Each structure stands twice: as C-alpha cells, then as structure tokens.
Structure 1
Amino acid sequence: MSSTTSTVATANRGRMPRQIPYIIGNEGCERFSFYGMRNILVQFLITGLLLQHITAGSERELAAKDLMHEFMIGVYFFPLLGGYLADRFFGKYNTIFWFSLIYCAGHACLAIFEESRTGFFTGLGLIALGAGGIKPLVASFVGDQFDKSNEKLAKVVFDAFYWIINFGSLFASLLMPLFLKNYGASVAFGIPGLLMFVATFVLWLGRKKYVMVPPARTRDPHSFANVIRTALNTPREGEGAPGRALAVAGVAVAVGMLLGWALSALGLATWWPKDFGFVITFCLALVVLVAGVGGGAWLQLDRARGVHPDAAIAGVRSVLRLLVIFALVTPFHSLFDQKASTWVIQGNAMAKPEWFVASQMQALNPALVMILIPFNNLVLYPALRRFGLEPTALRRMTAGIAFSGLAWIVVGLIQLQMDGGTPMSIVWQVLPYALLTFGEVLVSATGLEFAYSQAPLSMKGVVMSFWNLTTTIGNLWVLLSNAAVRNDTVTGQIAQTGFSETAFLMFFFAGFALVAALAFGWYARRYPVVDNYRPAD
C-alpha cells in the first residue's frame, strides 16, 4: 500500500471515509445517464426509423426487445474485461476513469446518429463497453475505502450507494420519455450523455483522496487460475480424472457451439438453430465453459494440495461455491430486466392519459427502492429480529427471487384480462412493479455487498465481474424465450394452452423464478459464509 493510501486509511479508521461523497456523486450521475438512455431504448426502437424496415408491429417489438437485451448482455459481460484490467494492470480508479471516457463517446454517438444504424449501434456498443468496464469496479472501489475498523459503516454505504443509483434512475425514468416524445431522440439521448460527462468529472475531482489498492502486477503462482490448472492437470495414482474429463467436455462443447454458429452463418451447416445468433451462441458457450471447468476443478481441487498453500485452495473453493449462488440468481435478472421491454410493450397497449408514456412507469421502481431500503433497515429487519428470525443476506435473496416470481404472476393475470378484451388501466401495473421492486431490494442491494464480502482479497474485481455476469445470463434466458416464440412448433404448443404467447411467457418466467427461489434457499442453508474485508491497518 502506498504512503498516500496508508495515510488516508489511517485517517478514516473507525469513521466514514471523506472520499465516499465523490464516488456516490459519480454513481448518481452515471446511473442517470445509463437509465436515461436504457429506459427509452425500446420505445425509440419501436417508434423511430432504425427498425422501420420491419413492417409488422409485433415483429418490430420483438426485434426491439432482442436489441435491448443484447445490449444488456454486453453491459454485463464487459465487467469481466474491466475487472481483469483493474486487478492485473491499472487499478480500479484508472480503469474506471478511462472506461468512463469511452462511455461518454458512446452517448455522443446516440445523440448524433439517431437515424444511422451504423452510428447508433456503434454508440450502443461503446456504452456497453464503457458501462460494463466500470460496473464491477465502482462497488468494489467503495469497499476498498473501508477496512475492518469501519466495515459496519460499509454496509450503510452500500445501501446508500444503491439508494443513489435509484435516485438517478428515478429522474431519468420520469423525464427522458417526455424528452423523447416532445423534443426528439437527439435531446433525449444527449442529456444522459451530459450527465455521464459530469459523472467522470466528479470522479476526477476526488482523485487525491481515494484509497488506491494497487493491482497485482506480478504473476501470482497461487492465483485462482493456477490453482484450477493444477487441480485439473495433476494425476493421482489409482484414480481416474473425472474433473479433467468434465472440463475437457465443457471446452469441447463450447467450441462446438461457436463452430456450429460460424458454419451456419456461412451456410455450410443446418444443424445449429437459425435463430441462435452470435450473442446467444456465445453466451451459451460461456455457460457451458464455466460449468465444465468450474465443476471439473471442484471434483479434483484436493489434488492442488502440496503445490499451493491451503489458503489459496480455500480461496478457490470459496469462489466456486459463490459461483453457484450467482448461477441461481440469474433467473431473477431475466424477470427484472424485462420491465424495460416486456412490461413497456404491455403498457403501450393499456389505457393511460395522453401525456403519459408507458416507459415512465419504470420510475416507480427507483422511487419504491428509495422508500424500501430505509423501511427494511429501520422497520422490517428489526421487527423480524424481535421475532427471532435473523434476515441474513442469503435469506433476503431467497425471498427476493420469490417475490419477483409473484410479480410476474400478477402481470400475467393482467395480460390475460387484456387478451380477453377487457380494457386495463396502466395503473394496474403498480402492483407488479411494487412486488418486483421489493424483490430487487432483497436481491440486488443485498447481493452487491454479499458478493464483495465473500470475494477473496486478491479477486475482488473479478468476483464482482462474475456478479454482474449474472445479469448477462439472465438476459440470455430472455433471448432464448424470444427465439422460441419464432419457432412454429413452440408457438403451436403454446396455442394449445389457450394462452397468448405473451401471457404464456409471463407465467413461464414466474415459474422459472419460483423454482430458482426453492433451489437458492436449499443451497443457501449449506453455504459457509465468510468475511473477506481488508484487515485494519
């Protein structure tokens, strides 16, 4: 640790770090910029010129959903890159700052190229890269400002961090749809770009006050990857190598998927599903790869003993256990992110005042978050403790996934009424938004701090990247459902249920979340919670 970092850490001992307001201010502006553009993206794609070549309204809506969820996959995939660069080369602050400049350039492209597919989609790509690159780092950068002497304050700040995210999102969700409707796309996408510039400037202002945890520039012989490699490659006399076989199978299947897509794209193969484009194929390959290598390493992890210290092996085991938690959270994100697509499309067909835009309903989410976080901390959790029920992080996350499923049952019942010809006011969406938001507070606000606390000290950035990857995989499930309803066999089976495709998928996702909640709760009872905060100086 540098002398500057040590001095700052000593001054902060047992107290709230003075540099936190700069990070919180940066996050508030950045979240306004992100949600400001994301929450109008589907509406713009449906009504703008970029997709006007798709004449059927339902097909244009489906294409808009695909583009939005593909964008979200990029946003939550690039944290892997940002986390790696920060941990290995540049440190968190430098990585956040330079990716923020890429982010600003992306916003500029959206504002300038509203009628150019190439320019606009380039802007989306730059925002996905910039937003994704900084996403795992800001939260872990907050955690770096604390040590064991004031870690209890960190839990308060993580809640405040999530609160300010939603403060920015609230005003973005209320205002940007109106700016899009009344002033056009250039203004509606330009304002979030301006806020992103302000966010970058605020971050820069605090540069001399931050605790800077240096990156691990030297190669660690006992790193996560090296322990995994040793575990998979070390033979044991008289035993087979089931873990290595599983890992090799995972790699082979992942490569086969990518090869199948490539051959299909060139017209040289017909066995790969034609609706599985590169994004779906790549994400499926990533899931298979992580499952194969991670599962294989788990089976043979003891073979790394004697080559690596017990602490390194325990750290790898901790990360692998954490990845199972992350996998079980992915269904929640498949439900949550569709409030910006499926729920907006449903809202477009509902009765509402002429001045109101369906995408403005998303403002309910951050408004309720800002109420629910203090309510939970000051009222709900103390009340549960008085009744002898400790609301641990894993219990909260289990309940949150279940509440998201309940929200989708309600929105599905609304859709059934609409499909039957009953006019429905958009006010009916308030109830599912309330249930989904309560689930979000229990999952996302809790999971952010939980992921940081469980990550080994040398892997904070990368583990937070994997936490963000849960959203990528959640959006993958949405893309797969969209591809399914383009298949005549699947749509025929749905028609036999008597439900519309929209209603059927709503109930499908509700069931998906409820099953995931049961699995999460079962696994959580067996998960050994650890505390990996930085020691006090």
Structure 2
Amino acid sequence: MVDGSANECCERLAYYGMSTNLVNYMKTRLGQVNSVASNNVTNWQGTCYITPLIGAFFADAYMGRFWTIAIFMIIYIFGLALLTMASSVKGLVPTSCGDKDVCHPTDAQAAVVFVALYLIALGTGGIKPCVSSFGADQFDENDEREKKSKSSFFNWFYFSINIGALVASTVLVYVQTHVGWGWGFGIPAVVMAIAVGSFFVGTPLYRHQKPGGSPLTRIAQVLVACARKWNVAVPADKSRLHETVDGESVIEGSRKLEHSEQLACLDRAAVVTAEDGAEASPWRLCSVTQVEELKSVIRLLPIWASGIVFAAVYSQMSTMFVLQGNTLDQSMGPRFKIPSATLSMVDTISVIVWVPVYDRAIVPLVRSYTGRPRGFTQLQRMGIGLVVSIFSMVAAGVLDIVRLRAIARHGLYGEDDIVPISIFWQIPQYFIIGCAEVFTFVGQLEFFYDQAPDAMRSMCSALSLTTVALGNYLSTVLVTIVTHITTRHGRIGWIPENLNRGHLDYFFWLLAVLSLLNFLAYLVIASWYKYKKTADDYPGAKGEHGTEH
C-alpha cells in the first residue's frame, strides 16, 4: 500500500509539474493565444484520462496490475525525457523569441513537444487505473481489520497524490518560471525514475490479482447470448438460471455475484434451453455472475456521466483560473512575484487539510448518526462534492466582476495592464474546489472500485477517470462554442486575448448553471441506483441489493 501511494505521489508530482503551468508554456514557448493554449492543455489532460481505458484493459485481461504499472511507467519516463530535451537541447528549443519572451517555434519543434506530451499521456494510462486498485488489492477482504482499513485507504491515497501536487505547484512552477523549463521538466523525469526503482524493490511483498481474461469479450458474450435467446422466457425461479455448481466463479480472480432484478432483459443470456448442451458455448449460455458483471457496469454508467460537468469545473484550475490570475497583482512583498499557476497549491493544501478532517472528524461524527461504517454512503459523499463545486464557480465569477469593475474604475484596458487586486483573492475558488475533490473524486475512486466486479476493477477505475477526460473535452467544447458565438459581428467576446476587455465572469456563471443542472440530474440517478449484493457494509440496505442512498 505504501509503495503504491508513493508511486502515485511521484507520478502526480510529474504530472502536475507539467500541467499546472502548461498553459503558460504553450503561450510563451509555442506562441499560442489564450483560447488555443487553453484548448491544447484541456485536450492533453483529457487524453491523460482516456488512455487509462487502454492500460486497464491490459491489466484486467492479460498482464495484471503489477506489470501494467511497470511497463507504462517506463513509457512515461521516455515522454518526460523527450519533453526535457525539447525544452533544453539546442535545435529543439525555439530561437525566435521576441518581445515578452514569446517564441515562434518551427513545426518540427512544436511536434516534438506534442509527441512528448502524448507519450506521457499514454504512460499515464497504465498507471492511474491500476495503482489505486493495486493498493486496495493489498488488503484482505476476509480479514475484518484489513477490510476496515481499506475504507480509509482511498482517502489517504488521494492525500499522497496531493503531496506530490503541492510540490509541483510550488517548487516546480517556481523552477519553470525563474530557472528554466528544462530544469522544470527534468526534475519530474528524475523523480519518476526513482519511483520505478522503488516500485520494483517492493515486488516480493505484493499481493497479485490474477487477470480474468478480456472483460470486453465477456460483455460481448452476454449481449450475443441475450440476442440469440430474445424470445425465450425467463423463469420465475431465478435459481434455474445457469451458474457454476462449485463455489468458484468461472471467471479467474472473481467471486460469484448474486442475481439482481434490475435490467432483467439480460437474464435471457443465462436461461438454459434444450439446445444448450453440457458444454454450451459462452456465446450462447452465460453464467449469472457473467450477466451480473454487465449489469454492474451498466448501473455505473449514469453515475459516471454525472461526474463529467464536475470534471469540467475542476479543469478550470489549469486554464481559466491561471489566465485570470495573470491579470491580477502577483506581488508578494517588494521583490517577489508569485506565478499565477502556483496558486493551484491552494487546491492541494485544501485537499491535504480536508482528507484528515473528513477521515478523522466528519466520518466519526456522521457515523454516530447514521450507524454506517463510512458515515455517508458513497453516493451521498459524491453528491455533496457536486454541490460544493458550484460555489467555486460562484466565487470565481464574483472575483471577476470585482476585477472588471476595478478595470473600469482605473481605465486598465491595455493587454499588459495589471489590475490592482491581489492574486490571493483567488484563494477561495481554489480552496472550495479542493473541498469538493475530497467528496467527489475520492468518493468516485472508492465507489467504482467497490461496486465493480472483481475481475473488472481496473476497467471500472479507468471508467471513473474518463470523467476527467470528458470534463476537459467538455471545457474545450464550451470555450470553442462561447468564443464562436460571442465574437460574432466583430464583438470582442467573453474570452479574448486581452482579458481586461472580456467577460470571463460570464463563462464562470455558465459553468455554475451547468453544475446546478447536473446535480439535479444526479439526484434522480442516485435514487435509481442499487448497491451490489456484496457491498454488505451498508447496514440499512433494503431488499436484495439495497437501495440506500
């Protein structure tokens, strides 16, 4: 567990060491305007959370989580090394830097940067979906003491991630801004190399989950078998449905799942007919556990979709919050200026503060009222985070109204004019997002691991991470649409190159409204969801699978 947390801490240090200040790198070293730089960052970040589907597939189907983590970490290091070279090696660094240190790279130089970034995105794909699951695998679910400890694991796992992010948003951003991009990207490469070494050192101590074969194949088999028996009646006595006789599931590394009443149409795949012989093909006859695997995934999808808007809000920290901070007074004393990207450390500090508060204070307090081991149910926890995130956008919008009024009052409409408002007034919006993360993102990690079938835990963890990807893509789409609509007929638009003449506050209000609508939809989705049978740590669960929310 410790090695897994340390590994992810190093990976997050490297990731945030790039992503936190990447929008400014795009603007200065690649000569891109605000909207293009913002979209390139969110597209790359989105890809970093889509590639986990690839890594998770290999982990669950063939390689197991250990070897998937090891191989993809090496790819990650290659990407970091190439990015370091692109920022420091003569010939790869643009030489056409003019006023304001804005460069104009050749197509080849820009291509090297993007190849490096997307190699890193691929490497991330094998690490992120496996490390949390691999860490949780180290706890024996048959041991009550270890099972109880696992409920706190995800909180402290996320805590360790943010330790890495804190170092990245302070030390690395400072190095990038005041020492150089080569050092700023080189340090994460060294850290990741150390992480690889420490990961292999702990090899003899790990517990390994056996890969269960391709989960996509099993899903396809259920769908094909169901289609072939579409006209077959499902027996009222569900014990007549096909299942293995012995106590073990036919799926390697997976326990049997109890039959559930939801999505009953899929039960046809487990109906035994006269045409099914003793050795019926799995493309014609599936076990109840295999059918329930697919049901579990389908039940997760609406919950998964509700996290996309939240992720779009979260992505503003590395784009619009940074651009907003660029226009504010960054002075910290007479001689020092804090880089706007460094303020993301407030989000990290917020998480570091809220994790122990949640685990040691809030959970015991709520537990005393609800009687549940975790205090809140997982769905309640995520819902609270969705509500909290709305207030982050409200705080950002209010600050921008104040900023625009100061601009009007002092006539600061020049592109380089600094608004006489301290950048530290951005602290509330960052701090609130950190609080929301502890509820929603950590809740998602735990929820998707706990509710996933045993042999699909990496895949379902990757599925939860894709909400971040789609949130970044949604942000890109929103920025593109807003820019297109608001610049019609020669208007300057909400997000112009000169933000002192724009209306960034309108964009924050748009996200606040979308977040509110998303939460209302989430309430409906959560009321429909039923926890799977094996989640027996909800003492108030009702019926066969529990409907407590």
TM-score bracket relative to the smaller structure: 0.7 to 0.9
2:315 corresponds in structure 1 to: 337
Are 1:25 and 2:13 an aligned pair? no
| Structure 2 SS opposite 1:91 | helix
1:228 corresponds in structure 2 to: 223
Deviations 1:226-284 (A, max 9, x none): 2133334543289xxxxxxxxxxxxxxxxxxxxxxxxxxxxxxxxxxxxxxxxxxxxxx
The one of 113, 118, 140 aligned to 2:133: 140
AA aligned opposite 2:200: W
Deviations 1:466-487 (A, max 9, x none): 1111111111110111211332
| Structure 2 SS opposite 1:153 | helix
1:250 corresponds in structure 2 to: none
Change in 2 beyond 3 A, CA 1:86/1:118: same
Check the 8 A contact 2:326/2:340 in 1, yes or no: yes
The one of 41, 60, 74 aligned to 2:47: 74
Change in 2 beyond 3 A, CA 1:392/1:152: same
Check the 8 A contact 1:74/1:128 in 2, yes or no: yes
Are 1:119 and 2:112 an aligned pair? yes
Deviation (angstroms), 1:162 = 0.8
**Whole-Å separation in 1 of the counterparts to 2:291 and 2:399:** 51
**Whole-Å separation in 2 of the counterparts to 1:66 and 1:220:** 33
Deviation (angstroms), 1:418 = 1.6
Are 1:382 and 2:375 an aligned pair? no
1:508 corresponds in structure 2 to: 510
Check the 8 A contact 2:486/2:493 in 1, yes or no: no
The one of 188, 199, 204 aligned to 1:203: 199
Deviation (angstroms), 1:492 = 6.8
Change in 2 beyond 3 A, CA 1:220/1:71: closer
2:269 corresponds in structure 1 to: 304
**Whole-Å separation in 2 of the counterparts to 1:488 and 1:95:** 44
1:166-315 matches, cutoff 5 A? 166-217=162-213, 223-232=218-227, 234-236=229-231, 300-306=265-271, 307-315=285-293
Check the 8 A contact 2:270/2:287 in 1, yes or no: yes
1:380-529 matches, cutoff 5 A? 380-388=362-370, 390-422=375-407, 423-488=420-485, 500-529=502-531
Q: How many residues align?
A: 448
**Whole-Å separation in 2 of the counterparts to 1:232 and 1:364:** 53
Deviation (angstroms), 1:338 = 1.4
**Whole-Å separation in 1 of the counterparts to 2:406 and 2:136:** 52
1:46 corresponds in structure 2 to: 27
Deviation (angstroms), 1:369 = 0.8
Structure possessing the higher radius of gyration over alpha carbons: 2
Deviations 1:357-414 (A, max 9, x none): 1011011111111111111122223333445594221111101011111110110111
Deviation (angstroms), 1:504 = 1.5
**Whole-Å separation in 2 of the counterparts to 1:366 and 1:384:** 25
Change in 2 beyond 3 A, CA 1:405/1:523: same
| Structure 1 SS opposite 2:384 | helix
Deviations 1:7-36 (A, max 9, x none): xxxxxxxxxxxxx22222212212111111
The one of 287, 291, 297 aligned to 1:319: 297
More helix per residue: 1
AA aligned opposite 1:467: S
Change in 2 beyond 3 A, CA 1:372/1:512: same
AA aligned opposite 2:341: S
Check the 8 A contact 2:84/2:182 in 1, yes or no: yes
**Whole-Å separation in 2 of the counterparts to 1:533 and 1:102:** 36
Alignment gaps of 5+ in structure 1: 1-19, 55-59, 239-296
Check the 8 A contact 1:494/1:501 in 2, yes or no: no
State the identity %.
Answer: 28
Deviations 1:81-117 (A, max 9, x none): 1011111111111111010000000001111012321
AA aligned opposite 2:312: S
Change in 2 beyond 3 A, CA 1:490/1:183: closer
2:338 corresponds in structure 1 to: 356
Q: Any runs of at least 4 consecutive aligned residues in structure 1 with deviations exceeding 6 A, and if so which?
A: 219-222, 492-497
**Whole-Å separation in 1 of the counterparts to 2:437 and 2:215:** 37
**Whole-Å separation in 2 of the counterparts to 1:169 and 1:525:** 35
Deviation (angstroms), 1:133 = 2.0
1:370 corresponds in structure 2 to: 352
Check the 8 A contact 1:494/1:504 in 2, yes or no: no
Alignment gaps of 5+ in structure 2: 88-92, 94-108, 234-261, 272-284, 408-419, 495-500, 537-549
**Whole-Å separation in 1 of the counterparts to 2:292 and 2:490:** 48
Change in 2 beyond 3 A, CA 1:234/1:73: farther
Deviation (angstroms), 1:507 = 0.7
1:252 corresponds in structure 2 to: none
TM-score (normalised: structure 2): 0.77
RMSD (Å) for aligned C-alpha atoms: 2.6
Check the 8 A contact 1:491/1:501 in 2, yes or no: no
Change in 2 beyond 3 A, CA 1:87/1:221: closer
